[in-house]
Amino acid sequence: MKNFDIVVLGGGPGGYVAAIKASQLGAKVAVIEMDQLGGVCLNIGCIPTKTLLRTAKLYQDLLNSKAFGIDIPGMEHVEINWENLMNRKKTVVKKVVGGVQQLMKYNNIEVINGFGTLLDPHTVEVNGERIVTKNLILATGSSVKLPKIEGIEEGYKQGTVIDSTGAIELKAHPKSMTILGGGVIAVEFATLFNSLGTKVTMLQRSDVILKNLDEDVRNTIQRHLINEGVEIITNTTLKSISGQTTYYESEGALKSVKSDFILASLGRVPNLKGIENLNLKVGRKGVEVDSHMETNVKGVYAVGDMVGKMMLAHVASAEGIVAAEAIMGTKTKIDYNKVPACIYSFPEVGVIGYSEEDAKKAGFDVGTSVFPLSANGKAMAEGETTGFVKIVHDKKYGEVLGVHIVASHATDMIAEAAVSLELEGTIYDLAKTIHPHPTLSEIVMEAAHGAVDKPIHIVKM
């Protein structure tokens, strides 16, 4: 019987990061993983989708090369090699997962492959063997949620209805696709397949996609997707699925759309199988924890998607570090309002903190400043002028409450805002910070100048 200081159940971004941190702090650690290290993110989520999106962006750049002064003879023959596209994805994933495996060895973490079942807070059974631990960190992740729609389960079994995993493993280039949902994942897949030449139709229940984001962000992305050829049908009620056809109600009438595949992107649910014996307190979003990620059972911690606070890989990793530190004697916590979130659309989206609407609801005396990408020299040079930066701030002290960026490199640029919020920075700090020229990052400084007084490079009356 093996004994450990900490056993981590699940080897995704929450689990493996927690294991590394705990080992660095001196604990004897084991990770139990039923599949591949890296979890959904590295294997079937973040990494493979971003790899495919890179190809989609390159393909679009090639198609628009003439506008940049490059004439390519026979452009009509430029096409997607689907098999090579998928092979590149597999190669990238293999390298990233292999890197995590090496990190486990380097940090002296024992990796046990198999499904772990908890007998009690200190005993895990895996592959018929019992493992004893002083503390547990649960990081079992989440699974795709299939809505209760007539015919959807039959379609899933037949292969016409797919989830995000199925979407990145298609054997051939689809000519058409219907996406159910209008959240972040739905927008990323709409961007991916539309850019690769697939006819994409999005069916959204509410009146706008990305409804939880700042109004300016969601309106900009929705308008841009429509301009790029994505058909977005809002205010719909999904009724049933039959074969390749989705039936929905819109404007009081029953309508339908037929496509090669139907991608269900309507949320995820926590994976709770195997932990039933612990009698953990589970809320609407997932396992309930305190600010140090400890559950209602002493010595048992939970992180990542199974907690459901924010289903993001970097959040799971941060929570994993908090849990490991708590076990090893250091109490830290996460301010979830200072966590950046990203969408890898074209253009990208990076957001953090309050939206304008939420800041007002929270009682702040809200000020905003917007600077458009169309007034930025680097954006014009790159031919990527769709987007803006919007700073939401408290008028009383000038504290930055939220930053919302729509730009070609927004997912990288949002880190500057994250540092600002973490340090309780103000619009004056951002305005005084000298940014390099020419860069897209200058739009942050310009928006800050606009919040303080007036931006330099546009006329603000």
**Known catalytic residues?**
437
Of 85, 80, 46, nearest in space to 60 by CA: 80
- Token pair, residue 166, equals 């199925």
What span, in angstroms and rounded, lies between the C-alpha atoms of 292 and 72? 57
* DSSP output for 392-457: EEETTT-BEEEEEEEETTHHHHHHHHHHHHHTT-BHHHHHHSPPPSS-TTHHHHHHHHHHHS--SS
The conformational region for residue 20 under phi > 0 = left, psi -120 to 50 = alpha, else beta, is alpha
Q: Are 404 and 390 in contact (CB under 8 A)?
A: yes
Rounded alpha-carbon distances, angstroms, from residue 36 to 18, 115, 151, 219: 16, 12, 32, 38
**What is the CA angle 412-416-420, rounded to 5?**
155
Q: Helices 46-63 and 184-195 sit at what angle, rounded to 10 degrees?
A: 40
What span, in angstroms and rounded, lies between the C-alpha atoms of 383 and 164? 30
Of 181, 201, 190, nearest in space to 244 by CA: 201
Burial string for 76-103 (b: 16+ CB within 10 Å, else e) reads: eeeeeeeeebbebbeebbeebbeebeeb
* DSSP output for 292-304: TSB-SSTTEEE-G
* Residue at token pair 């979830």: 336
Instruction: State the pairing for strand pair 300-302/161-162.
Output: unpaired
Beta bridge partners of 368: 392
What span, in angstroms and rounded, lies between the C-alpha atoms of 14 and 141? 8
- 72 contacts: CB under 8 Å, gap ≥ 6: 62, 65, 66, 78
- Token pair, residue 435, equals 């940014």
* DSSP output for 326-344: HHTT------GGG--EEE-
Residue 308 carries which DSSP code?
-
**Helix/strand/coil (H, E, C) string of 394-411?**
ECCCCEEEEEEEEECCHH
Instruction: State the pairing for strand pair 129-138/2-9.
Output: parallel
